[in-house]
Amino acid sequence: MPATLPNLRINSDRLWASLMELAQIGATAKGGVCRLALTDLDRQARDLFIRWCEEAGCTVTVDGIGNIFARRSGRDNALPPVMTGSHIDTQPTGGKFDGAYGVMAGLEVVRTLNEADFETDAPVEIVVWTNEEGTRFAPAMIGSGAFAKVFDLSKELGKTDLEGKTIGGELERIGYNGATPVGGRKIGAYFEAHIEQGPILEAESKTIGIVTGAQGQRWYEVTVVGQEAHAGPTPMVRRKDALVAASRMIDRVNRIGHAHQPGACATVGHVQVMPNSRNVIPGRVFFTIDFRNPSDDALTAMDRDLRQACDEIAAAAGCTVEVKEFWYFAPTPFDPACIAAVRAGAERGGYSHRDIISGAGHDAVYLAQVAPTGMIFVPCEDGISHNEIENATPQDLAAGCAVLLHAVLARAVRG
């Protein structure tokens, strides 16, 4: 970063106030937020974000998957923009900071530059990505994935929720089916600020996580088919109980996670039992699996162990099983220059810091395929996220935003 830059300081009170005002849209009784993608509440949050950006002098555009881009002009608008942001959709029982912090931190960067009347060489853009959580429409990170051409746009627009409503239809309904083409343009750099969603920074009393990359993920949908029968007259030895087989597979998933340490995570988070009647032996069970690992070789070994275990368990129970890989992305290293910019920002601010791998998927994973990318983590209380009690301190959030400001300047101002 050029040495002649002024000593810009973000307004921590304003950042906190913006986060708290945004959190009122979809606020839950337990202090969290339920703001699912492309609902009326999502529209209200988008409208508020756009109003704030326009008040900050930004030009706002929306693309064909509903991603929002708010641009602050630079001296040379022919230069590719330096982009920062995240998402504002939440889990059904989500918190105030997951995603929203990255967007509001980007807005605070722009507000700070405006107050200092400081002009960057390259434009600076704040982005809100559509459907990061993947709660209403699966998989996660659809907006950034479509932007990076990982997903086919027409297929994603046709994705349905549990009520059969499509992404395309809901975008049109809430007025966010934008005319700007999806992706296909150059980005100077992308930075995403986020709460860690894990316990490491807090446990080590570190303020800033310098994210060097994200671990790989595999998501599966598993269907086990047995035979429905009466719970009374059917002897135990003659049963083809799909739930018993599925429960043994779920236990094996957990053991696979423990067997591929360090770094492996294995989770079954959704189960459907059919016919779901107390006196009928279950004939069909559907469940999901989430595998994560920073090593792609280990992730491949976990996949092999899963398929072998499911086949063996199903055969022993007299059932059949289908293991369908639903989503996959390899471990993603971030750009060395962007990592260095984050590190320099942390050191400039005097913040304690450490390198860290992201255990969660973020929009930055897909942006890393099309642009130099970096991430900044700040601690969250007890490492808890995707929960209404999710919490972070104003001081840590302000520190992460200050680091973001200097990382953005490092790429948006010529030496």
State the pLDDT at residue 329.
85
Q: Is residue 39 part of a domain?
A: yes
Q: Does some domain include residue 5? A: no
| Same domain, residue pair 190 and 78 | yes
Q: Is residue 150 part of a domain?
A: yes
Residues 192 and 338 in one domain: yes
Evaluated on CA atoms 101, 103, 106, 111, the torsion sign reads: negative
Of 329, 351, 371, which residue constitutes the final position of a domain?
329
pLDDT of 363 reads 97
193 in the same domain as 125: yes
In a domain, 52, yes or no: yes
Distance between CA atoms of residues 100 and 102, nearest Å: 5
Instruction: Tell whether 1 is covered by a domain.
Output: no
Same domain, 292 and 191: no
Structure tokens at 92: 């059904």
Residue 271's domain is classified under what CATH number? 3.30.70.360
Q: Is residue 7 part of a domain?
A: no
Q: How far apart are CA 17 and CA 243, in angstroms?
A: 48
> What pLDDT, on the 0 to 100 scale, is given for residue 7?
82
198 and 221 part of one domain: no
* Full residue range of the structural domain in which residue 128 is found: 12-215+331-412
Task: Determine the number of helices (DSSP H) and then strands (DSSP E) in the chain.
Answer: 12, 16
Same domain, 244 and 258: yes
Closest CA to 306 of 380, 218, 179, 240: 218
Same domain for 275 and 338, yes or no, is no
- Please provide the DSSP assignment of 4-71 as one string: T-------HHHHHHHHHHHHTTTB-TTS-B---TTSHHHHHHHHHHHHHHHHTT-EEEEBTT--EEEE
pLDDT at 361: 85
What's the structural domain count of the chain?
Answer: 2
Helix (H, G, I), strand (E, B) or coil at 309: helix
The CATH number that applies at residue 137 is 3.40.630.10
- 261 and 290 in a single domain? The answer is yes
pLDDT, position 299: 97
Indicate if 316 and 395 belong to the same structural domain: no
**380 and 298, same domain (yes or no):** no
pLDDT in tens, the chain (415 residues): 454 566 899 999 999 999 999 999 999 999 999 999 999 999 999 999 999 999 999 999 999 999 999 999 999 999 999 999 999 999 999 999 999 999 999 999 999 999 999 999 999 999 999 999 999 999 999 999 999 999 999 999 999 999 999 999 999 999 999 999 999 999 999 999 999 999 999 999 999 999 999 999 999 999 999 999 999 999 999 999 999 999 999 999 999 999 999 889 999 999 999 999 999 999 999 999 999 999 999 999 999 999 999 999 999 999 999 999 988 988 999 999 999 999 999 999 999 999 999 988 899 999 999 999 999 999 999 999 999 999 999 999 999 999 999 999 999 999 7
Question: Does 169 share its domain with 209?
Answer: yes
C-alpha to C-alpha distances, 353 to 119, 348, 400, nearest whole angstrom: 29, 12, 11
Given 329, 346, 363, which residue is the final one in a domain?
Answer: 329
3 in a domain, yes or no?
no
Whether the ω angle into residue 139 lies within 30 degrees of 0, i.e. cis, is yes
In a domain, 120, yes or no: yes
Q: Which of 271, 303, 329 is the last residue of a domain?
A: 329
Residues 275 and 408 in one domain: no
DSSP 197-252: SSSHHHHTT-SEEEEEEE-EEEEEEEEEE---EETTTS-GGG---HHHHHHHHHHH
Task: Measure the CA dihedral 272/135/398/205, to 10°.
Answer: 20
